[in-house]
Structure 1
Amino acid sequence: MPPENCSTCAFLCLVHRGNFAHSYIASPPALPIFHGGHEEDTEPFTSEWRAPTLPAGSSSCPGVDLAPVLLIPEGDIHRKRMEKDLNELQALIEAHFENRKKEEEELIFLKDRIEQRRAERAEQQRIRSEREKERQARVAEEKARKEEEEARKKAEEEARKKKAFSNMLHFGGYLQKTEKKSGKKQTEREKKKKILSERRRPLNIDHLSEDKLRDKAMDLWQSIYDLEAEKFDLQDKFKRQKYEPMLLCFPSSSKAARGKSMVGGRWK
């Protein structure tokens, strides 16, 4: 086989397989053109491709099938490349807008959460302020109630004192009248009551605190206890003084009874 036929067959095989079609199209070499078995001058490669003409008698190249060999114009490759780039750009744009949509949704969600949290804080602050107002109102009401109760007790105490004082005045007048009627005995009784009224001092406990009131109550209890003990001692002393004359008389009578003896069945 001539060498030119071998190079032509190799070129056709490579184009058929498509191993370096892109590089070949980018920088196509000059191909020899055969006419009648003679090689002529080479021509520059153009966009309009032509299948090389094989020399006569070379159609029986073993292993080469020239039927599927297609020549692709350069414009189709450029168009396909542009379509590919356009598809990639479209995919990038769609991905960008998808990410931007997700970010906007997240931003809206965060804004909603912030607004919700702000509303919750405002509601909590409102509830807290209302509770504080209610507490202050209760404290003021309790304070007013205590002051009113203290004023009422003080007024009742003053009224009781005035009533007691007026009763004492009326009782004093009554005693004076009875003294004129009853004479000296009534006068002694009046003196006794006067002394007792002087001893019984009025209790001034309005200004005392709870601890001082407790101490005052203990003092009064101790005074009552001492008076009861003194009363018991006086009663016992009075009883002894009452029965002592009788006891003094009993020994003489008992001695006279012991002096008698029984003689002959009779007392002497």
Structure 2
Amino acid sequence: MAALPWPFGRPHEAWLGAWCALPGRWSAGTLAAAGYDWVCLDAQHGAHDDRSLVEALTAPGGAPLLVRVRSNDAGLIGRALDAGAAGVIVPVVDDAEAAARAAAATHYPPLGARSWGPLAGLAGGTAPTAGEARSLCAVMVETPAAVAAAADIAAVPGVDALFVGPYDLALSSGTDVAGLLSGSRGRAALTTVVRACAEHGVVAGAYAGSLDIARALRGLGFTMLAVASDAALLADAAAETLARARTVLGAPQGEGT
């Protein structure tokens, strides 16, 4: 599996990723080989369990693989990293205390408190040494409380990125994603996150899921963007291929075998 470049990302350029909700190594490997800068395996809302995460994290491909863990739990974070993840995206981090717990679980001492137990390194893994490239700790901003605490969260040592979940942030703010991106309050909230990241030298990231949303988020200053998901890509490709086949083969809507 590819390692994360460190410092990761390219200043002032978008660092484009894909979301992997489908279990096993085939979807993860396909996305990782497609040229994305990173791929995130979703263990919170996706279909990944412990077994499928281990399988997916051994998939061939050129992109670093991250894991969105189910919750801000040291055991879950450590298990994802032990299995070979290049980093974690931790959901529902509303304040600096929660961010500090996530960072401590992600990083080895002296920066954090992660213990060494490399599942992915069983065939000859060695203990980490000082100065090794460290894992990515991205914490999710999904509520107005997290937006209000963004500067404090970004200042926590070991937090590498603030990652906005626009759908949950919109829900918890009483709007939808369109309103979040176009309304003055929503745009102010997103700008608050970007400014906090810039002030403290961390990456501003977000889940987009579509190019239109990605374009809007990029315009606000976000640089780590999930622009596609395997489930959506599969659904879109299936529908498009069927529509084209009906046209080319002269099979009207509703006919089939």
Larger strand share, 1 or 2: 2
TM-score after normalising by structure 1: 0.22
Relative contact order (alpha carbons < 8 A, sep ≥ 6): 1 or 2 greater? 2
Larger helix share, 1 or 2: 1
